[in-house]
Amino acid sequence: MHDDRSLVEARLKRVLDERIRPAVYPESVPLEVAVWHASSEPVPVEEGLAAECEPIAVGARWGAPWGTSWFRVTGTVPEAWAGRTVEAVLDLGFDENMPGFQCEGLVHRPDGTPVKGLNPRNQWVRIGAPVEGGEEVRLHVEAASNPVILDYHPFLPTQLGDRETAGSEPQYTLTRMDLAVFDESVWQLVIDLEVLGELMAELPVESARRWEILRAVEKALDAIDLQDVNGTASAARSRLAGVLSAPAVPSAHRISAVGHAHIDSAWLWPLRETVRKVARTTSNMTALLEDEPEFVFAMSQAQQWAWVKEHRPEVWARVKKAVADGRFVPAGGMWVESDTNMPGSEAMARQFVHGKRFFLDEFGIENDEAWLPDTFGFAAGLPQIIRAAGSKWLLTQKISWSQTNKFPHHTFRWEGIDGTRIFTHFPPVDTYNCSMKGSEIAHAASNFKDKGVARHSLAPTGWGDGGGGTTREMVAKAARLRDLEGSATVVWETPGEFFANAEAEYPEPPVWVGELYLELHRATLTSQAKTKQGNRRSEHLLREAELWAATAAVRTGFPYPYEELDRIWKTVLLHQFHDILPGSSIAWVHREARATYERLAAELNAIIDAAQRALAGEGSTPLVFNSAPHTRSGVAAGGAGTSVVEGETVLVPRAGGGFVLHNSLLRVEIDEHGLVVSAYDIAADRETIAPGRAAGLLQLHPDFPNMWDAWDVDEFYRNTVTDLTDADEVTAGADGSSVRIVRTFGASRVTQVLSLPPEERRLVLDTEVDWHETEKFLKLAFPLDVHAERYASETQFGHFHRPTHTNTSWEAAKFEACNHRFVHVEEPGWGVAVVNDSTYGHDVTRTVRTVGDRGTTTTVRVSLLRAPRFPDPETDQGVHRFRHALVPGAGIGDAVREGWRINLPERRLTGGDEVAPLVTIDQEAVVITALKLADDGSGDVVVRFHEAHGGRTKAVLTAGFEVAEVTVTDLLERPWTESAAPERDGNRIVVRLRPFELVTLRLRRA
């Protein structure tokens, strides 16, 4: 037979595009349209419905950036359409290639009841099936004219990302507002031909099945009268029935489709618009569930559910009913789909506490899975947090984006730093926006790396990022793919059903140990410095507020601020969303975030101050409150007393220029350029700085990645570097024990103050940058005379090691990585820590010196600032302040302690007696991360701690109050049966911990 594939395939495409798809709506009449443009922010539904509208015609421009317009559409169903299915087709000016990234609408009835959302892939509203004819139609559309930020030429700087700079130029053209007859038979034919055409394209040319489909498609096209598609569609469908009914082979890959609409809680739109995106999507999905009995939809992010409950109670009622029916499924058990690299230990735990508790309180549903399809890599401490929250599974898709190395598994067990293992699945469909295209289904089957031992994967199905969700077309395609020869099989399932089946099928999958590093989006550890600083500061202020409020509540009856702390935690957790904390959102989002963090800081400082004053009482004794988990300056952890500081720091001129700072532990030389050329550990008789090098060195790189400006830094940025060695000023500080350095470069100015506290082995670097660069990357370098093949980096509830070498492509790809409060490098018996108060990104490299002692230099560089222009063209412009400390002679315990110290400065009040800690632990390796009252209002004291040094330990926890009962709990403060009850002798509790083990105890007060 002659090969006529190309001829038939081209024919199929043209006939579908030009004849069959247009025939889905064979008859239409225009609706009358009027519009009212809200002045600024969205208005309540009742106000939009009541507003005075002006006529508007199809073809007119509408919608200033970020505006809201209320369209009123009216009309009458023609009498001649009686007995037929009629829909309103409402095209606000959509581009079908941009679902979720442009204008959207929510359709209401005249009484304000929401009907469904409108987006580029969902432009219809069912009027009747069938209609009687003569019905009056009146609909109201709340339309959001969200501008297109990520356009066909992506990453171009734009002022559209903030309402304050976006202007007022109309963004869209009203395209179609019609009543139309919907021809179900033609629509089904479209789906038949799409499914078969897409499947055919994925089958081998030599496959008999491909040719069977080709011939059937040809016969169907022959059966269509192009001048009467509607009259011949059924005949064409009959020619396809045979190939559509051929069952899949028994070994076919099995796909669990989960209805999904990944909605970024903020990204290329502000938080307020996400509230509306969620309402539109949930309206659509509840309507689709009513129409499609096999369809199942899952939605994560408890915050988004809470928004529906608060802002759209009528939609919430529909959602609750669908949840009760088991078809609208709460997923993930987190407050938002957060970043997992940068949130601190407690914040990561509280993501699950608040997320799971919301779903338990509202629906009685316990989530077993963590659901993070789009998060930019996963910290090594996460598995035990998931487990401690009572969950056991993890889903993500994002690792498939890695640029260098392909991850070797799709289903595996992920082992965290403490040994906890979580059953994990990466959908091989490689998208969280699956639309049931044949290419996606075929890719999932062929890409699946666990063939031979498993054949089950998940496909999150629906338009996402900006929302929208699953469409009726996707559901119809899935129905045809349920059991179709040549294709993987598709069935709708909940996440829980998928994971239970997948784990039963593959009980002993391979194990991956350590972080799940995304080889992409590394610059999200640095972009938008003030957002990151706001997060870090909020986390530590929350620790202080809970600690001192709990202590004051037990000791003085101080009213514990349950509601305020709950609200503030949820706000901080919301801002840890994976496009807010990473700095990859539009200017509007980060402008609001900065203001929010300032407001939260004021509230938390007020709580802390009130609690500490209640504890301090009346008196004139100077008291120092120590919020850190370690004793310092003679004041116990979690207590208040008189600080004891002995010794002094001496500042003297240095021969050749510069200064020398020294105390009894360190001698630091700062040269005439303001650079640290020596940091001598007196007790160890050891130099810290590599020979011929200088620490505290600012280095400037060009930074123009190939794409994803705010997200990415590409390795070639290192090819060009400018050392900022020229100093405008190197002077003694006003306090007489510090050195002040001023540098200017480009349009920017840096002021550094270097200080050496008395009797402490740490050099503090306070850096203020007035930053006005574009597409530059600023680093702070510490070249250390340390031979280290690996370094330790703090993560949630512990630390883990990364290599300093690049033996493999996996190691080379980690050229920018995340740490929390410290990075630590060491040789046996001696090490150095670099600690910080607000930065995350860093790199660590090693070189062997070719002259002199031929030793090894290990350079730790802290990432301070970037200046990408997309999506926020003014990213990081302005004044920033950072604090770092170099700690020579530091063991891992010193790194842990100094990391806490720099993030929790002492607070000073005058009062009466000292304040004893509410709880003490006698082992420095055990760190208390939270001390609070139980969330249920019982007055029980909850203390959460972990082993922080990486070894086994025994510790005694002593309560400063009478304890009636001790219970080991999960993160939600429920009894935890997986851990044995600790030994107890009155108020003394003995705990034995494995490396990095996390424990939560609930202490009932007598």
The CA–CA distances, whole Å, from 274 to 427, 468, 510, 617 equal: 26, 12, 38, 46
Distance (Å, whole) CA 887 – CA 894: 8
| β-pairing verdict for 798-803 and 790-795 | antiparallel
Q: Which ranges of 580-678 would DSSP assign to H, the alpha helix?
A: 587-616
The CA–CA distances, whole Å, from 54 to 33, 70, 105, 347 equal: 9, 10, 18, 49
Token pair listed for 163 = 């309402």
DSSP 686: E
| β-pairing verdict for 176-181 and 28-30 | antiparallel
Answer yes or no: are the C-beta atoms of 1001 and 989 closer than 8 Å: yes
DSSP 92: S
**Through-space distance between the first and last CA atoms of the chain, rounded to whole angstroms:** 90
Distance (Å, whole) CA 819 – CA 660: 31
* Short-list 63, 93, 65, 92, CA closest to 158: 65
Which residues does residue 989 pair with via DSSP β-bridges, in sequence order? 957, 984
Residue 616 φ then ψ, to 5°:
-70, -35
Q: How many residues does the chain have?
A: 1006
DSSP 635: B
Distance (Å, whole) CA 608 – CA 602: 10
Helix pair angle (5-15, 184-202), 10° resolution = 150
Q: Quickly count: other Cβ atoms within 10 Å of residue 995's Cβ.
A: 17
The CA–CA distances, whole Å, from 202 to 367, 445, 487 equal: 37, 11, 9
Provide the 3-class DSSP secondary structure of residue 817: strand
| β-pairing verdict for 254-259 and 489-492 | parallel
Distance (Å, whole) CA 976 – CA 76: 63
Catalytic residue among 91, 192, 374, 843: 374
Which residues does residue 143 pair with via DSSP β-bridges, in sequence order? 69, 105
Annotation marks residue 339 as catalytic: no
The separation between CA 542 and the C-alpha centre of its own chain, rounded to angstroms, equals 20
| SS3 per-residue string spanning 638-663 | CCEECCCCCCCCEEEECCCCCEEEEC
Provide the 3-class DSSP secondary structure of residue 699: strand
Distance (Å, whole) CA 745 – CA 726: 9
Residue 379 φ then ψ, to 5°:
-70, 150
Cα three-residue angle 968-969-975, rounded to 5 degrees: 95
Residue 128, burial from CB neighbour count under 10 angstroms (0-12, 13-18, 19+): middle
The separation between CA 593 and the C-alpha centre of its own chain, rounded to angstroms, equals 15
Provide the 3-class DSSP secondary structure of residue 576: coil
Q: Quickly count: other Cβ atoms within 10 Å of residue 935's Cβ.
A: 17
Q: Where are the beta strands (DSSP E) in 798-855?
A: 798-803, 817-818, 822-827, 830-836, 841-848
| β-pairing verdict for 86-91 and 124-128 | antiparallel
* Short-list 115, 464, 41, CA closest to 312: 115
| SS3 per-residue string spanning 896-926 | HHHHHHHHCCCEEEEECCCECCCEEECCCCE
Residue 382 φ then ψ, to 5°:
-70, -40
Which residues are part of the catalytic machinery? 374
